[in-house]
A and B are shown apart, each in its own frame.
Chain A
Amino acid sequence: MDLLYSIFIDPFVQMATAPDLLAQTLWEGLVGGMLYALIALGFVLIFKASGVFNFAQGIMVVFAALTLIGLHKLLVQNGVSNATAAAYLALLLTIGVMFVLAFAVERLVLRPLVNQPDIILFMATFGLTYFLIGFGELVFGGDPKIMITEDLRLPTGAITYKALGGLLSLQRLDIAAAVIAAIMVTTMAVFFSKTRIGRALRAVADSHKAALSVGISLEQIWVIVWFASGLVALVTGIMWGARSDVSFALEVIALKALPVLILGGFTSIPGAIVGGLIIGIGEKLAEFYWGPLIGGGTDSWFAYVLALVFLLFWPHGLFGEKIIERV
């Protein structure tokens, strides 16, 4: 009975008696979930446009953040005295690097592998992941770096205010991250639904052959899509780097975006966001209220098991397209 009580009743009693703690946990889950959602967004963009399940997205986040820091350091050392100017110059250069990366991936990986089964392309992004890890560590070194939050003029510090009978503390950075993420997602949604390129992209997603036959250049679309997901990776990298150090250890956290994808469905941008928030909040609540019962550390697997349970009921995710198979 004690066990059942501590599983089914006690956590809810705690939630009811300390609503400020609950609100704090929810907020932290929300922010964490938003970052998962951003990584998942990068996956969805590429998957929708090219049918490639891009395993390297998580590494692209780390790679973008490391490039930004590395370039900033280089610029400051070479006489750009104003740190903020250097930071924004580095940001521009990093965007350039992400474009070069997108171009190289299209030319060296996707184009030779066109018309191969999905699984082969998936494996190729594995190769890309390893290559980027090796390359990033070779160029920037393996030690953790500190994100140039202040030079980028991102707000820091915390706002605390009294609510729900306790103190709530919100990091200014998290609020900024939420705003930036919202702006980015809206821009992308508009871009993909209203512009000419966006329409071309959706055509490619529907059918490669049909898109080719009406004169859409696959190569061009792929570069654009990989560049877009590179930009998403850069923003995610900055936000994430500001919360913790930047190192290749982030890779494991980036894997968390995969259950988010399962929850939301591979092909849905809203799905990525909703999935991210569900996973983020669920993970924090589980760890805070139920984690101590089984020894803690549940956040390493909770997201995956939650996604697995969801999959049993929605095999294509919450918002994913239903795949109809024919013999």
Chain B
Amino acid sequence: MLYREAGQFKTSYLADQAIFPIRQDRIGMAVIIAGAYLLTLTQNDFLLNAMMIPFLIFTLAAIGLNLLTGYTGLLSLGTGAFMGVGAYACYKLTSLFPDVNVLVWVVASGFFAALVGVIFGVPSLRIKGFYLAIATLAAQFFLEWCFIRVPWLYNYNVSGAIEVPTRTLFGIPVTGPTATAQTRYLIVLTIVAVMTWLASNLVHGRIGRMWMAVRDMDIAAELIGIRPLPTKLLAFAISSFYCGVSGALMVFLWYGGAEATVFNINQSFNVLFMIIIGGLGSLIGSYLGAALIFILPIVLRFVPPRLGLDIQAATVEHVTFMIVGALIIFFLIVEPHGLARLWQIAKQKLRVWPFPY
């Protein structure tokens, strides 16, 4: 009833092409953003630390992978490693140049990830599909090996782990053990929101059209004048940039320290599941998928004790695995286009409610 576009006339092409052409969408978006920022006021550290911050960080990684897999059609299993490149680059940069603001390095580390991504993306011109997916496994395992065997990357620490130093912004600590959850949440939220906005502009513009043309059929795309190699490499670069920033955020603003195992193959799969369940080729899908895959295990861990059931932690973990696996199959059967499509269907139904169509 409230969700009606009747009476909203568009008098220019610009208005017609807007990302949110319906007024209610714009209002809803504003409410969501305002609500997200209002969460900063909460004193509930668990909510921010264990749910919102990682959710946003995973969303960023999922957007990165979605740009590559969902929009350009290049399947990648190296997301974890690209996140690792970002994290280690940020760590090296901030320990080499401690006076520069750490947030500059968080963003700059994305460029290192982009560079590495381009190098491993070069074979994508000749190989595609599953062959490419396995080729990106080379990136995953080789980079993981580098994180362990190149001690320069972790400043020759005996533990082999990276420890995040305390860095401040306007005198307030933003990283390290003294930074409050509220500060870190605010920073993560801002970075993720800005980067989502950038990604949205990218995929709605010329570059996004080029990516989608390559995804739908790369030979046809080439025939209409899209150069495949620069397009694919650009997708690899931007996707790795997003993954790199998300990796840096993960270590600097969430974990506060990490070992190479954080960026192992399971992390790559995790992000891949997020975009499958959320919806390939959809930004809102990245959010929904990250929410489902990340928050589901937490909920599963907390529900049985509330119900008075006494289940061992290991059992819960195994059941979580089973449920995630079954959910993936279930979603693929019911809606191969993911939660994002369900969201669209729901909106469409609302628009014409109470009529069926």
Contacts and interface: CB of A to CB of B under 8 A. Distances in A.
Given A134-B318, A304-B142, A327-B220, A124 B134 contact: no
A126 B273 contact: yes
Given A119-B75, A142-B314, A311-B126, A128 B329 contact: yes
Contact of B328 (A116, A119, A124, A301): A124
Contacts of A325: 219
Contacts of B144: 300-301
A308 B329 contact: no
Contact of A123 (B134, B220, B324, B328): B328
Nearest to A135: B322
Contacts of A124: 328-329, 332-333
A252 B265 contact: yes
B235 to A, nearest CB: 16
A305 B146 CA distance: 13
A131 B329 contact: yes
Contacts of A120: 332, 336
B332 A312 contact: no
Interface string A267-304: 00000000000000000000000000011111011001
**Interface majority SS (helix, strand, loop, mixed), chain B:** helix
- Give the one of B265, B324, B325, B326 with max A CB within 10 A: B325
A69 interface: no
Contacts of A300: 141, 144-145
B318 A327 contact: no
A297 B75 CA distance: 27
B131 A315 contact: yes
A28 B328 CA distance: 39
B89 interface: no
Interface string A117-157: 11110111011111111110110001000000000000000
A315 B144 CA distance: 25
B141 A304 contact: yes
Nearest to B329: A127
Interface in A236-278: 252, 255, 258-259, 261-262, 266
Contacts, number: 135
A308 B138 contact: yes
Contact of A130 (B148, B149, B217, B321): B321
B65 to A, nearest CB: 13
Contact of B217 (A132, A305, A317, A327): A327
Nearest to A105: B329
A134 B141 contact: no
Interface string B120-159: 0001001101110011011011101100110000000000
B114 interface: no
Most chain A CB inside 10 Å of its own CB: which residue of B126, B317, B320, B328: B328
A53 interface: yes
Given A126-B272, A315-B131, A133 B149 contact: no
A138 B145 contact: no
Interface residues of A, number: 52
A107 to B, nearest CB: 12
Interface in B45-90: 75
Chain A residues touching B, majority SS: helix
B137 A134 contact: no
A158 interface: no
B142 A301 contact: yes
B75 A298 contact: no
A127 B131 contact: no
B269 A126 contact: yes
Nearest to B336: A120
Interface in B233-265: 265
A305 B138 contact: yes
Contact of A137 (B137, B223, B321, B323): B321
A113 interface: yes
Nearest to A320: B131
A261 B75 contact: no
A252 B320 CA distance: 20
Residue among B127, B134, B144, B324 with most chain A CB within 10 A: B134
26 contacts: A108-B329, A109-B333, A120-B336, A122-B130, A123-B276, A126-B269, A126-B325, A127-B327, A127-B328, A128-B329, A130-B322, A130-B325, A131-B326, A134-B325, A138-B319, A142-B318, A266-B131, A301-B142, A304-B135, A305-B142, A307-B135, A308-B123, A311-B123, A311-B135, A315-B127, A327-B223
The 4 residue pairs across chains A and B that have the minimum distance between CB atoms: A134-B321, A131-B325, A130-B325, A127-B328
